[in-house]
Copies of this chain bind each other. A is one copy, B any other.
Amino acid sequence: MKTIQSDNYPIYFEDSIAELEKFVKAGNYSRSFILTDEHTSIDCLPLIQAQFAGHENFDIIEVNSGEESKTIDFCIGIWKMLIDFEADRKSLLINLGGGVITDMGGFAASTFKRGIDFVHVPTTLLSQVDASVGGKTGIDMDNIKNIIGTFTQPKAVFIADEFLKTLPARQILSGTAEMLKHGLIKDAAYWAALKNSDLSIPSAELIYRSVEIKNEVVIEDPKENGIRKALNFGHTIGHAVETNSLINDKDPLTHGEAIALGMICEAYLSHKKTGLSSDHLTEIVTVINSLYPKYNLAAANYETLCAIMLKDKKNQNGKINCTLLTSIGQCSLDNICTDAELCESLAWYAAL
């Protein structure tokens, strides 16, 4: 599998940990820092340390795992550690973890001393096929996802499937949702290949293709003025459900579980509004429902969910904007949906 060239940075797929070592050496950094959470410290950091054994001394910055940590408070903690460790402008931050780590580490690095270099070593399926590519960094605030952030590209991304061995099945499935999305919005053949694969451990080739699709889209539209909105399929409703679940559920939905639900609802809206056939709708619902557990949506929440959607940064002028499908493998941008339509799709999901 070839290295993918993104917007001025390489995405490695082979011998990635060795590539990371080469990168760090060639970069002549004054200091290198690794950002981890308590899981990646144990499950992933040793692989890095083994590669570098003896050659490099890293300072480790560890934060708590999970979306609840993707906040300005943890970000301040990262900045203060960098200050305490006397990081300078020629320092490097290596983000070793899932999307929480790559998003927050990217934000912290892109604003520390007005921007130091950072690279991503994504260790969840979700962060490999989605979060680590495209230059979006961010943290949550006031229960709004990614409301604070920058567009800043990493200097490189290192994808290694070794990391997936320790990843819990539920986290694998979380990433699968984004892979399914990539097929649905852009590549019917890829969707078919996914449908017919054992998705409990997606093959390296499937991961590669997903990154390729994401990369094609973001390179064409780095700042999300047009085609990049394709990637929002399932996310208008999915993000709202995820936010709501984070606030209210003891065991909240993963990002992918929420997006899976969002894709079902938005496929329904696609059928109603943008001509998705009922065969395609049925196929999408069947595949997704066979992979993800049903989530219990309380009708009382529909209004709350719509209010959350309105606060989402993708919506403007008080209008809720959805990316929908015209068929499997093709999408349509900028479909304004009314509260009534959104509620209807949620009710439809609930009644499935």
- Give residues in A with beta carbon < 8 Å to B: 30, 72, 76, 79-80, 83, 86, 88-90, 107, 110-115, 136-138, 141-142, 144, 146-151, 310-311, 313-318
Contact = CB atoms under 8 A, between A and B. Distances in A.
A83 B141 contact: yes
Contact of A316 (B30, B138, B150): B30
Given A30-B316, A72-B72, A142 B83 contact: yes
Contacts of A88: 313, 315-317
Contacts of A113: 147, 149, 313
- Rank and list the top 3 A-B pairs by shortest CB-CB distance, nearest first: A113-B313, A88-B316, A114-B149
Contacts of A315: 88
A140 B100 CA distance: 25
Nearest to A84: B142
A46 B63 CA distance: 46
Given A83-B311, A86-B318, 14 more contacts: A72-B72, A79-B148, A83-B141, A86-B310, A86-B311, A88-B315, A89-B313, A111-B149, A112-B147, A113-B149, A114-B136, A114-B149, A114-B150, A150-B150
A144 B114 CA distance: 13
